Amino acid sequence: MVERVSGRVGFEDQHLTVRQYKRLRELVGDQVELVPAGGLVEDLRAVKEPGELQSIREAADLADDMYEYIQSRGLVGRTEREVALDVEREMRERGAEDPSFPSIVASGAHGALPHADPRDERIAANTLVIVDMGCRVDGYCSDCTRTFATGDLEDEAIEVYELVLAAQQESLAAIHAGVEGREVDAVARNLIDAAGHGEHFGHGLGHGVGLEIHEAPRLAQTAEAALTSGNVVTVEPGVYLPGAFGVRIEDLVIVRDDGAEVLSHFPKPLITLGA
Ligand SMILES: [Mn+2]
């Protein structure tokens, strides 16, 4: 028998089903006001405690190690799926609970799809390959993207790579507690716009990372919330040329009062990997 009480009770309105809500409504009785409070926990979660930061740091370190592993194994001649499965097996061997999301390995024109699934296609020489993956450690996610070359590239691919790298570094430098998410997004977007690729950067600059791979806060054109010390966000501009190639470079960072502490350490200048 549930004791009848009065007052206000917050409930999680983003995931609670209608059926569960009706059951809750019955259980708490008429004297209780149910208040949608789905953003409450996410807002609390957006500022990480030291123990949470330690887990995220370990997850980011493991992702760094995975990029070194990819570098040691080469890309040319392997299928995208082979590379993705190999890295996911290896991260588990080294202590990850899981990948923090299905790994993306996308070569050539397939890289122009920001959320590409790895295919049973062999990776060719002389193209670009986007690798976007993360590891889960103690329940906490990491997220990192690097774009590799597999040989000689056309000038346009090199120019786009340098543009994305500049946008990534300049927007990283714009991060500190107090800046709005949309202001950081604008730093990268303005640079990419000015180079004539505004229409080829079709997603937000970044997102919060924690227990979930996508959580608060956002770095996007509509993100008015100011960043807070202890937020953990990605910074991941991309340029995608349909039918040709894509470039994305992503670091995971902790927002601090005076800047961004970058947790992703794998080098960002263009690296060429052979077989
Ligand atoms: Mn990401």
Banded pLDDT at 78 (limits 50, 70, 90): very high
CA distance 170 to 190: 11
CA 137 – ligand 1 centroid, Å: 16
Query: Do 163 and 170 contact (CB within 8 A), yes or no?
Result: no
Q: Are residues 88 and 186 in the same domain?
A: yes
Q: Are 187 and 147 in contact (CB under 8 A)?
A: no
Q: Is the pLDDT assigned to residue 23 strictly greater than 80?
A: yes
The Å distance, Cα 205 to ligand 1 centre, comes to 9
| pLDDT, mean over the chain | 96
Report how many domains make up the chain.
Answer: 2
* Cα angle 72-76-77, degrees, rounded to a multiple of 5: 115
What pLDDT sits at residue 2?
A: 56
pLDDT at 274: 83
Residue 116 lies in a domain: yes
Closest CA to 94 of 62, 67, 61: 62
**What is the 8-class DSSP label of residue 171?**
H
**In terms of domains, do 205 and 83 share one?**
yes
- In this prediction, what percent of the chain has a pLDDT beyond 90? 89
How does pLDDT run across 101-146, given as a tens digit for each residue?
999 999 999 999 988 999 999 999 999 999 999 999 999 999 999 9
Please check the confidence at residue 186 and state whether its pLDDT lies above 60.
yes
Shared domain check, 17 and 92 = no
Q: Is the pLDDT of residue 54 over 80?
A: yes
pLDDT of residue 4: 64
Are residues 169 and 197 both part of a single domain? Answer: yes
**Residue 1 pLDDT exceeds 80:** no
Mean pLDDT of 57-81: 98
Q: Are 83 and 131 in contact (CB under 8 A)?
A: yes
For residue 27, give its domain range: 7-38
Distance in Å, CA 142 to ligand 1 centroid: 9
Does 109 lie in the same domain as 23?
A: no
- Whether 65 and 157 share a structural domain: yes
What is the Cα–Cα distance from 120 to 122, expressed in whole angstroms?
Answer: 7
CA of 79 to the centre of ligand 1 (A): 23
Distance 144 CA to ligand 1 centre (A): 7
Residue 77 has pLDDT above 90, yes or no: yes
* 256 assigned to some structural domain: yes
| Residue 105 within any structural domain of the chain | yes
pLDDT band at 3 (very low <50, low <70, confident <90, very high): low
Is 133 found in the same domain as 67?
Answer: yes
Same domain for 31 and 120? no
The gap from C-alpha 79 to its chain's centroid, in whole angstroms, comes to 23
Which domain CATH number covers 223?
Answer: 3.90.230.10
| Same domain flag for 22 and 91 | no
**Alpha carbon distance 132, 102 (integer Å):** 9
What average pLDDT does the segment 25-39 reach? Answer: 90
What pLDDT, on the 0 to 100 scale, is given for residue 98? 97
**Burial annotation 86-109 (CB, 10 A radius, 16+ → b, else e):** bbbebbeeeebeebbbebbbbbbb
Give the lowest-confidence range in 20-34, 141-155, 229-243: 20-34
- Residue 236 belongs to some domain of the structure: yes
CA 130, CA 161: separation in Å to the nearest integer? 11
Token pair recorded at residue 197: 């690729």
Asked whether residue 14 falls in the same domain as residue 147, the answer is no
Question: By the 8 A CB rule, do 163 and 197 touch?
Answer: yes
31: CA distance to ligand 1 center in Å? 44
> 231 lies in a domain?
yes
Domain assignment present for 267: no
Kindly state whether residue 240 falls inside one of the protein's structural domains: yes
Q: Answer yes or no: is 275 within a domain.
A: no
Residues 211 and 189 occupy one common structural domain: yes
Helix, coil or strand: residue 236 = coil
Same domain, 66 and 194: yes
Token match 């640079």: residue? 191
Q: Which two tokens stand for residue 22?
A: 């009706």
| Confidence tier at 12 by pLDDT (50, 70, 90) | confident
**Given its phi and psi angles, is residue 7 left (phi above 0), alpha (psi -120 to 50 degrees) or beta?**
left
pLDDT band at 224 (very low <50, low <70, confident <90, very high): very high
Query: 206: pLDDT confidence band, cut at 50, 70 and 90?
Result: very high
